[in-house]
Chain A
C-alpha cells in the first residue's frame, strides 16, 4: 500500500476545498446564466468532449448502418414504389410552382417588392438529445467549422424543429421549438392571421399566445412561419392546432398545437443558411431579442 500519510498534513481541509470549488462553480453559473460570458471557455471545453460525444454516438450510427445493409428486397421494392409515386406527385407540384414562381416574380417586379432569395442550407445529423431534463435540446454534428452560427433555423423534411443556440467547433446545440419560452412567429394558413407560437417545455405541445377570444382559429389549422422575425424564412410548416378553448373568463383564447416536424424523432436535419438582411429596426426597440413580437394581426 502506497499511502503513508505525512506526519503533519499540510494543505486545505476537504471542507475548505469544497467551499473554494463551490464558489468557482457559483461564479461560472452566474457568469453563464446572467451574462453569457463563457462562450470561448465553452468552446474550448467542447473540443475536449467532442471525441467522447462522437464515440458515444457511434454505436447507434453503426446499428443504423448495419440495419441499412440488411434491407430486404421487399422493403426496397415497396420504398421504390412509394418514392416513384411521390416523385410523380412532386414533379407535378414542382411544375406548378415553377409557373407560380414566374408569375410571382413578375408580380413582385411590378409591385417593386424585393425578390425573395432562396435560402442556402447545410445538412446535418442529430447526434443525441441533451440529457438536461430542464430543456429541450439536441446536438447536431455540424459546427463553427461548417459555418454554422447561432440563430440559424433548423428544419427536417416536414418543417421547423428549432434554432441553433450554441456553436462549438464541430458541433452545435439546437434548441427545439418545444423548449419553454421559445417563440416562433407564425401565420395561420387558412385565415392568414399572424400569431406567436410558444414552446411549453412539454414534448409535443405548443401554445399560441395572446390570441383574442374572437380570433379565427380552428382545430386542424396549419401554422407556418410568417418570416417577419428575420430568423425563420417564411412559409415553413411549424405546427397544427389541436385544441381551441374559448373561456370568457380569460382575456385570451387557449390554443394548443402540436409540432409537425419530428421534434423528437428523425436524425437528418437541414440548417438553413444566413437569411437576407432584414431592414433596420425602428430605433426604440432594442435589436437584441430576435423573436420578441406581439402576436396580434
Chain B
C-alpha cells in the first residue's frame, strides 16, 4: 500500500480498564443530556462512537457483552424499543473488531471514511427495526448525527489517546 494514507504508528502506554469504563459512562451521560430542537438531530450517538473507538483500538478489552448492555441502558433511557440500540452497538462492535487492524493503520481522513459508513449502517439497521414495528421515516435529518459523529472522530481520538501518551522523559534528549 502507498505510504500516503498510512499514519506513522505511535508507541502508546497500555490503556487502563478503569479509563475505558469512565469514557463509556461519560458517553452515556452525554447521550442523556437534555438536548432539544436542532441539537437533537445534530448530536451524534456518543455511546456508539465510544464503543466503535474502543473496539477498533482495544478489541481485547471490550466485548460484545459490554456493547450489548450499554445498548440496553440506552434503550431504557430513550424509551425506544428494547433491544434496538443493543443490536446497533453489537454490529458496531463486530465491525470495529473485524476492521481494527485496517482502520488503525490509516491516517485520520481515511479513518473518517471508515467511520461514516459504519455509523450510517447502524442508522439503517435501527430504521429497519423501527419500520418493521410500524414507525414512519423521521426525515433525512435522521442521518445527520452520523456525520457529526464522524466529524468528532479525530477530536475524540486525540483526547482518548492523551492518557496513553508516555510522559516526556527528562533524561532523554
Binding site for B on A (CB under 8 A): 1-3, 14-15, 17-18, 20-22, 24-29, 31-33, 38, 41-42, 45-46, 48-49, 52-53, 55-57, 59-60, 127-135, 137, 139, 166, 168, 173, 180, 201, 264
Cα A24 to Cα B142 in complex, Å, equals 26
How many chain B residues touch A (CB < 8 A): the figure is 48
Cα A131 to Cα B60 in complex, Å, equals 30
Q: How many inter-chain contacts with C-beta < 8 Å in the A-B complex?
A: 137
Given A26-B87, A180-B136, A55–B77 Cβ distance below 8 Å? no
Cα A46 to Cα B60 in complex, Å, equals 29
Does any Cβ of A come within 8 Å of B130's Cβ? yes
Of B77, B87, B91, which one neighbours A29 at CB under 8 angstroms? B87
In the complex, the answer to whether B83 meets A26 with C-beta atoms within 8 Å is yes
In the complex, the answer to whether A137 meets B79 with C-beta atoms within 8 Å is yes
Which chain B positions have C-beta within 8 A of A166?
79
Which chain B positions have C-beta within 8 A of A59?
33
6 additional A-B residue pairs with CB within 8 Å, beyond A15-B94, A18-B90, A29-B129: A22-B91, A25-B68, A28-B86, A29-B82, A52-B25, A137-B79
In the complex, the answer to whether A22 meets B40 with C-beta atoms within 8 Å is no
Shortest CB distance A161–B (Å): 15
Can you identify 17 A-B contacts, CB atoms within 8 angstroms?
Answer: A2-B14, A14-B64, A21-B65, A21-B68, A22-B87, A26-B83, A31-B82, A32-B81, A45-B73, A52-B32, A55-B32, A128-B33, A131-B43, A131-B78, A133-B40, A133-B142, A137-B79
User: Per DSSP, are chain B's interface residues mostly helix, strand or loop, or mixed?
Assistant: helix
Which chain B positions have C-beta within 8 A of A31?
82
Which chain B positions have C-beta within 8 A of A25?
68, 71, 83-84, 86-87, 90
1/0 per residue B120-133: CB within 8 Å of A?
Answer: 00000000011001
Which chain A positions have C-beta within 8 A of B33?
56-57, 59-60, 128
1/0 per residue B86-127: CB within 8 Å of A?
Answer: 110011011001100000000000000000000000000000
Does any Cβ of A come within 8 Å of B138's Cβ? yes
In the complex, the answer to whether A134 meets B135 with C-beta atoms within 8 Å is yes
Give residues of chain B (37-52) contacting chain A, Cβ–Cβ below 8 Å: 37, 40-41, 43
Given A3-B60, A32-B82, A57-B34, A134–B73 Cβ distance below 8 Å? no
